[in-house]
Structure 1
Amino acid sequence: MGKALFIIDVQNDFTEGGALGVDGGAAVAAGITSYLQQHPDHYQQVFASRDWHDAVGDNGGHFATDGEPDYVTTWPVHCVAGTEGAEYHPALDTSAVTVHVRKGQGVPAYSIFEGTTDEGSTVADALEELGILDIDVVGIATDYCVRASALDALELGRHVRVLTDLVAGVAAESSEAALAELGHAGAELLTSEQSESISPE
């Protein structure tokens, strides 16, 4: 039975100063790095996703190119493929990452399961091939891509834990609602410190 960490969208555009920066994003990047350094053998696989949007067009209506974004389904231009904004935040050490995932190429995409690995497979297929049953989720943003990724993992029958001190959201109210929804759906909510002493069943 394998265990994986999902690092969701810890990118420059989603951290302070970025096109869609959230408060606490840089701290999450540094916190994930510290956590992995302290527990180098805790996970069999480490997946990291990035938004990787096309440079032209509105990416299936995801970018508000003809008006103001509503910050619900339309957004300012962000994480365009090949730009600095799409790169991992410099405080995130990706040396432990074993599976890189790109998502949102020409279409809206929130969940890591909507992306493809560098090898060209889906995340669901990669989990099957690697024998991953237990998944811890960290990253940005709690109320959007973290939420969607964790819900999809639960839907696929995985045991999911969200490390609540290693996520950051767009807004406090929607982030709290997202965590409550995930808990109701069956995810465990705990801190990274708690995760060290609580193993999945």
Structure 2
Amino acid sequence: MTSALLIIDVQNDFTEGGALEVKGGAAVARGISALLERDAHRYGVVAASRDWHNAEGDNGGHFALDEEPDYMDTWPVHCVAGTPGAEYHPELDLSRVRVHVRKGQGLPAYSAFEGTTDDGRMLAAVFRDVGVTRVDVVGIATDHCVRESAFDAKRAGFDVRVRANLTAAVNPARVGETLRALEVAGIEIEGEPSTPA
């Protein structure tokens, strides 16, 4: 059995001080780096996704340009391709990441499985090609892109675990509901999510 670690959207714009900051985001970056330092040998492949939105337009209605964002379907401008906000957080150790996925690119996209790798492949195919059967999901945000990536990993036929202590949420009040929905779908939850004040 080969396991993959899937790191979701640990980017400057999603951490403290970013355009769409998530409290606890920097701590998630540090925690994932510590996990990789300690347990990288447990993973046959480490993949990381990034939002990578177009600078022009509203990216299929994803950006709230003329009204207030609702933080469910519409968002402030964030993670624009090529900007510092779209880069990985500096405390995320990338030395063991072998697969990089960009998602969005003109359309709303929450799951890493909707994006493409640097060579244009879909993530599920990459995982299957290296014999992955289990996917551990970590990153930002628990209640959006982590959730949707975990659901899609399960739909793709992988055994899935969300390491909740290595995630942070846009809306901490929704974390319990999110984790229950994941469990109902047959996704394992490990650890307690951090809920910074």
TM-score (norm 2): 0.95
Match of 1:185 in 2: 185
Separation in 2, partners of 1:156, 1:27: 30
Please give the per-residue CA displacement for 1:84-121, whole angstroms capped at 9, x wherever unaligned: 00000011011110100000000000000110001110
Listed as ranges, the matches of 1:164-179 within 5 Å are 164-179=164-179
Separation in 2, partners of 1:64, 1:164: 29
Unmatched tracts of structure 2, length 5 or more:
193-197
User: What is the DSSP-based 3-state SS (H/G/I as helix, E as strand, rest coil) of the residue aligned with 1:41?
Assistant: helix
2:168 maps to a residue whose letter is A
User: What is the DSSP-based 3-state SS (H/G/I as helix, E as strand, rest coil) of the residue aligned with 1:95?
Assistant: coil
Separation in 1, partners of 2:127, 2:38: 24
Match of 1:98 in 2: 98
1:141 maps to a residue whose letter is A
Match of 1:148 in 2: 148
Deviates more, 1:84-93 or 1:168-177: 168-177
1:88 maps to a residue whose letter is Y
User: What is the DSSP-based 3-state SS (H/G/I as helix, E as strand, rest coil) of the residue aligned with 1:106?
Assistant: coil
User: What is the DSSP-based 3-state SS (H/G/I as helix, E as strand, rest coil) of the residue aligned with 1:161?
Assistant: strand
Separation in 2, partners of 1:35, 1:2: 17
Separation in 1, partners of 2:172, 2:128: 34
Listed as ranges, the matches of 1:6-21 within 5 Å are 6-21=6-21
Separation in 1, partners of 2:31, 2:57: 35
Please give the per-residue CA displacement for 1:104-146, whole angstroms capped at 9, x wherever unaligned: 0000000001100011101121122111110000000000000
Match of 1:118 in 2: 118
Listed as ranges, the matches of 1:34-73 within 5 Å are 34-73=34-73
Match of 2:31 in 1: 31
1:98 maps to a residue whose letter is R
Please give the per-residue CA displacement for 1:63-83, whole angstroms capped at 9, x wherever unaligned: 011111111111000000000
User: What is the DSSP-based 3-state SS (H/G/I as helix, E as strand, rest coil) of the residue aligned with 1:94?
Assistant: coil
Q: Cα distance, 1:150 vs. partner?
A: 0.1
Separation in 2, partners of 1:17, 1:74: 20
Q: Cα distance, 1:191 vs. partner?
A: 2.8
Q: Cα distance, 1:175 vs. partner?
A: 1.7
Separation in 1, partners of 2:81, 2:172: 29
Q: Cα distance, 1:164 vs. partner?
A: 1.2
Deviates more, 1:168-177 or 1:8-17: 168-177
Separation in 2, partners of 1:161, 1:176: 16
Please give the per-residue CA displacement for 1:18-56, whole angstroms capped at 9, x wherever unaligned: 111111000000000011001131100001000000010
User: What is the DSSP-based 3-state SS (H/G/I as helix, E as strand, rest coil) of the residue aligned with 1:135?
Assistant: strand
Separation in 2, partners of 1:111, 1:39: 25
Separation in 2, partners of 1:140, 1:14: 7
Match of 1:87 in 2: 87
